[in-house]
Amino acid sequence: MEFRRYMSVLAVSGALLATQVSAATASAPSKLVIGVDHLDPANQDEATGRVFEYTDFFSRSVKVHQGDMLDFRFAPYIHNIALAKTEQFAETLRPLNVPDSDDPPSVATGKPKIIVTGVRGGSGCGWTAPCEYTGGDDIKISGNPQGTDWNVTVNASPGTYTYFCYLHPGMRGQVEVVGPEAATTSQSQNDAVAEQQFTDDRNQALRAEQAANAVRYRGDEPGERTYFVKVGIAAADNHVSIDELLPNQPLNLVSGDRVLYIWADGHQGHSVTFPPDAVDSRGWDCATYTAAPPGPPPCTEPGEGPELIRDPGNAPSGTALATPTQIVDAGVRLGRDFGLPTAIRWAVRIDDGTAFGTYAYNCTLHDWMKQYLNISPASESGDRGDQPKF
């Protein structure tokens, strides 16, 4: 899956390779390690369907001298980061996602499909040999991780520059290049700030998750209810993406019930797909949506080059479920913070034609986000009147 955890916990001489920095690294004054995301095993258990993705830099503000190196250390989920004079400049010149303005809109959303640009490939440096960032109109982009450490030598003039993540709006920090006589951020100073930052992020995320993890519905009797499911939530000022379907439990439904899915995390992308992983998260936009890479060779439409798009979905809101094997797909939807045309609500319904059984679904971007709808005759549903309701 596109955003699936790209590495397991790595052991190096019995120590975790993570945002925490070794003493050897910390002793090198010309190199500063900045964590990208953070290990949190207690809250990153994919088997339970819940992952706290720390959409944060550890830390968010550093000072360096011209010629120093920034080592962006990735752990443990996928990010695509960049260094530029401003985030707006980089995203205007080199956007990651753009709306498709010349093809039919998504069937599922009624909005333009989203084209994925070549930014994903990065600048071609930093993983084996360091990038050199010179300031001005220079932009250096990591692309999807090719290891754990992305290195950039900062040869920019004194001033303030921005590092940010293309995949998670709001995930940003700043590096100030100071004169040779000015003090810079030491590794120990950075690590102390980072640990406090992590503790604050985690605690806020735990509180947000607890508040969202309850069954809620509108309507009185079974068969008249609309249940609400949040497809991920954000916490700590968008510094944590809680990649979880909330409530984190199956729903028991009968004919006449609906489930309304809400994309509550503005700085993350998710899908809702029945059955799980039934479609790819990306594909080539031809006469019809086709297989994702590495699938068939890129196809083209008259007068256009190949267009790689995010899964646009196949089912408008309000689609009735028929069988557990029927593909019913909301498509990949990006949160409102991306500034792209989007629709963050989508529903399925249960009617007299819905076969009884268990309907599994998940997010194709984060495939551990898996949940179930149990469809049964009304006599077996129970009143469930003790569940919270809106």
What is the rounded distance in angstroms from the CA atom of residue 336 to the CA atom of residue 262?
A: 12
User: 3-class DSSP state for residue 296?
Assistant: coil
Same domain? 90 vs 194: yes
Domain that holds residue 247: 213-279+314-381
Same domain? 93 vs 181: yes
Same domain? 258 vs 362: yes
Residue 321 lies in a domain: yes
Contact status, residue 271 vs residue 311, Cβ threshold 8 Å: yes
Please list the pLDDT of the chain residue by residue as tens digits (390 residues): 555 544 443 333 333 333 333 333 333 448 999 999 999 999 999 999 999 999 999 999 999 999 999 999 999 899 999 999 999 999 999 999 999 988 889 999 999 999 999 898 899 999 999 999 999 999 999 999 999 999 999 999 999 999 999 999 999 999 999 999 999 999 999 999 999 999 999 999 999 999 999 999 999 999 999 999 999 999 999 999 999 999 999 999 999 999 999 999 999 999 999 999 999 998 888 766 666 666 666 676 667 777 889 999 999 999 999 999 999 999 999 999 999 999 999 999 999 999 999 999 999 999 999 999 999 998 655 544 445 554
Q: Which of 159, 192, 208 is the last residue of a domain?
A: 208
Q: Which of 184, 208, 232 is the last residue of a domain?
A: 208
CATH code of the domain containing 75: 2.60.40.420
Residue 93 lies in a domain: yes
Same domain? 193 vs 320: no
Residue 197 lies in a domain: yes
Contact status, residue 356 vs residue 288, Cβ threshold 8 Å: no
Same domain? 133 vs 82: yes
Same domain? 174 vs 82: yes
Residue 239 lies in a domain: yes
For strand 81-84 and strand 140-141, is the pairing parallel, antiparallel, or unpaired? antiparallel
Give the per-residue pLDDT at 380: 59
Give the per-residue pLDDT at 27: 36
Same domain? 191 vs 334: no
Predicted TM-score (pTM) of this structure: 0.89
Same domain? 19 vs 84: yes
Same domain? 219 vs 95: no
Residue 52 lies in a domain: yes
Distances (CA, A) of 84 to 32, 73, 81, 140: 18, 18, 10, 7
What is the rounded distance in angstroms from the CA atom of residue 359 to the CA atom of residue 370?
A: 11
Same domain? 197 vs 273: no
What is the rounded distance in angstroms from the CA atom of residue 76 to the CA atom of residue 36?
A: 8
Residue 225 lies in a domain: yes
Give the per-residue pLDDT at 307: 84
Give the per-residue pLDDT at 104: 86
Number of domains in the chain: 2
Give the per-residue pLDDT at 20: 37
Same domain? 56 vs 140: yes
Same domain? 191 vs 143: yes
Q: Which of 193, 208, 223 is the last residue of a domain?
A: 208
